Amino acid sequence: MNECLTIGEPLVVFAAEEADVPLAAAKHFTKYLAGAELNVAVGLSRLGHSVEYITHLGEDPNGIFIRQQLTAAGIGSDNVTTTSRYPTGIEFKARVTHGDPNTYYLRAGSAAAHFDPDAIDRVDLAGVKLAHITGIFPAASASTLAATKRLMKRLITNHIMITFDPNLRPALWPDQQTMTSTINELAKSATIVLPGAAEGKILVGSDDPETIAHFYLDQSPQTQLVIVKVGKQGAYLLGRDVPGQLLPSFPAAHIVDTVGAGDGFALGVISALLEGRSPAEAASRGNAIGALAIQSAGDNTGYPTRSQLDKFMKTSLNETG
């Protein structure tokens, strides 16, 4: 089995070429692979880590595209099942020169949303060191929520580290209260929680990083570390044995597209931890990959190779002293 595992809904994203026009007016699109957890898997594999992806794909051209991309990226797909009954999810993404782009999804009732929770019992966990879970997959349907809970239970029983990114998608939840209580409940099973400060405002009632970190550490003995993404300021880190500290962000030469930055952050944290780095080094690498992610149009196309990462971190740290 691979050293890392993740479960999620893969998407084909059509990213508009024309900048600063509404999606309705865009005529030219480039096709990319997307999906928060899959973005992390793509980045881990690019950095030389072995990773397994669990999902359910439609037997349609988009499902075929995703499978080809998984193979090309070297991601383990023994736990990728298919169905001819439901379609693979699709996302359309606008292009903007400032801020976050509008997105439009065709994912309700997708193949991934019909993931069978019983499939979790067949996942081989031997050798898995870390599993990455986000709040997107459990939002897709009752069965994906059940599957996520079942997987987290198995991971805890097998003493496997869990990183959890709330990745709030309000449109996928029936209401904000359900979203908040379910996400916070899932976070209780995580070893490391990776919320954004703006998400903290919704989930915890405060965007103060220290308050958010204390909330997640206090609510569960399972949680050892919280790293709060604080946008341009970087990331705030607090753990049971780790004093609170703010790790500064890395400069981005230019911003092309902000989507995928949060997954890039998770990728940096996870890859560094798998390599035995300290929590502070992990958060710093998260900041670095977040900065690289926003310099590229695809959701995961900006994630670095090992040499690109080393060069970027060295150059940026030298520049900032």
Whole-number minimum distance, CB 39 to ligand KDG, in Å?
Answer: 5
Whole-number minimum distance, CB 318 to ligand KDG, in Å?
Answer: 30
**Closest residue by Cα to residue 217 from 179, 181, 191:** 191
- Which is nearer to ligand KDG, 242 or 294 (by Cβ)? 294
- Which is nearer to ligand KDG, 52 or 263 (by Cβ)? 263
Whether 155 contacts 15, CB under 8 Å: no
Q: Which residue has the closest beta carbon to ligand KDG?
A: 34
Q: What is the dihedral of CA 311, 313, 314, 317, to 10 degrees?
A: 150
- Which is nearer to ligand KDG, 60 or 263 (by Cβ)? 263
Q: How distant, in Å, are the alpha carbons of 25, 157, 169, 225, 266 from that of 272?
A: 42, 24, 27, 14, 10
Whole-number minimum distance, CB 175 to ligand KDG, in Å?
Answer: 18
Please, is 154 exposed, middle or buried when counting C-beta atoms within 10 Å of its C-beta (0-12, 13-18, 19+)? middle
**Taking CA 239 as the corner, what is the angle to CA 234 and CA 245, rounded to the nearest 5 degrees?**
35
DSSP 8-state assignment for residue 208: -
- Which is nearer to ligand KDG, 10 or 238 (by Cβ)? 10
3-state secondary structure at position 318: helix
Whole-number minimum distance, CB 219 to ligand KDG, in Å?
Answer: 24
Say how far apart CA 158 and CA 84 lie, in whole Å. Answer: 34
- Which is nearer to ligand KDG, 110 or 238 (by Cβ)? 110
Q: Is 299 a catalytic residue?
A: no
Whole-number minimum distance, CB 298 to ligand KDG, in Å?
Answer: 9
Which candidate in 60, 165, 257, 263 is catalytic? Answer: 263
Residues binding ligand KDG (CB under 6 A): 11, 34-36, 39, 91, 136, 169, 259-260, 262-263, 299
Cα of 50 vs its chain's centroid, Å: 17
3-state secondary structure at position 85: coil
Active site residues: 263
